[in-house]
Amino acid sequence: MTLFNRIEGKLLKERLYLTPNPDRTTLSFYKYHQIEDPKVFRDQLYRELSAIDVWGRIYVAHEGINGQISVPTQKLNEFKAQLYNIPFLNGIRLNIAVDDNGKSFFKLKILVRNKIVADGLDDSTFDVTNSGVHLNAPDFNALADQPDTIIVDMRNHYESEVGHFKNAICPDVDTFREALPAVESMLSEKKDKNIIMYCTGGIRCEKASAWMKHRGFKNVFQLNGGIIEYARQARAMSIENKFIGKNFVFDERLGERISDDIISVCHQCGQPCDDHTNCKNDGCHLLFIQCKACAEKYNACCSDECKTILELPEEEQKALRKGINKGRQVFKKGRSANIRFKSTLEACSL
């Protein structure tokens, strides 16, 4: 059996978008656990998940597993049975997407990495299992209302730009690796306060909260299951939703609606908008916020330059980008000179 996808991704994506309403469920999960041989574990997992048509992106490392996937809804129970049959994953919490069109992923990719989240930390220097107190939605709301509580967004700037908790601190950083020292510096004089950390699904806060405790912060908490689980609980329990806007997600959806508030603007015209897109020019692929009017005006590109390139014959486009190393575009998300308007995060400050 081939242990990787051999069909061109562009064709798979087109197939997905031609399906009106794919009956699929998007979910995420993670677990810190010592895996002796990540490569062997990865290959076996690929065999099992591909057999039931699971799509998505999963990272496997010696320290554990981190996955964001899409499962055929009718096979959800079968998927759970397979996952729970792995001893250290038995009963693991699955974060089910709260705003799902079934078009989150179009192929299965399982990669072996050094870490399941790039945090830049030396795990041998502190107890990574000594994480913060886990909070459910009601407990989060109660603690958030206390005057000595500080809420910290452990995500990147382009994530918090479209949605965040009320009164949260949102570091202006590009990566999680940068967020840790930034947050520690911002809160260096507030080590006795209640510190609540949150992220998309909880995985970044598992490590971040343990690091903050190691650095002397006394009352560290984390939102159990992150924004995704909080939103689900808030709806199920009919309690106040303190998250405003969209929750950015790292799949084809690029976001899921948590509240009706639109707190960001189109990066091209400045009108209220919170829809992320990737520049259609294959030589760019900049991630930015674009409204429908600008998408039509610029042909889903980030600039007139990229629009002009996109209008060239395919062979000329390939020639223009030949030999150019785009690097990791993550560092350009929301930072390009082509972005003329930027949302102000006044609520995201001390």
The Cα–Cα gap between 253 and 203 comes to 20
Known catalytic membership, residue 291: no
Strands 108-112 and 64-72, by their bridges, are unpaired
CB neighbour class for 104 (10 Å; exposed up to 12, middle 13-18, buried from 19): buried
Four-residue CA torsion sign, 323, 328, 331, 333: positive
With CA atoms as reference, report the closest residue to 284 among 315, 254, 317, 250.
317
User: Pick the catalytic residue: 199, 205, 279, 302?
Assistant: 199
Helix axes 226-237, 137-144, angle to 10 degrees: 100
DSSP percent split of the chain into helix, strand, coil, nearest 5: 30, 20, 50
The amino acid at 322? K
**Number of CB atoms found within 10 A of residue 260's CB:** 7
Q: Which residues are marked as active site?
A: 199
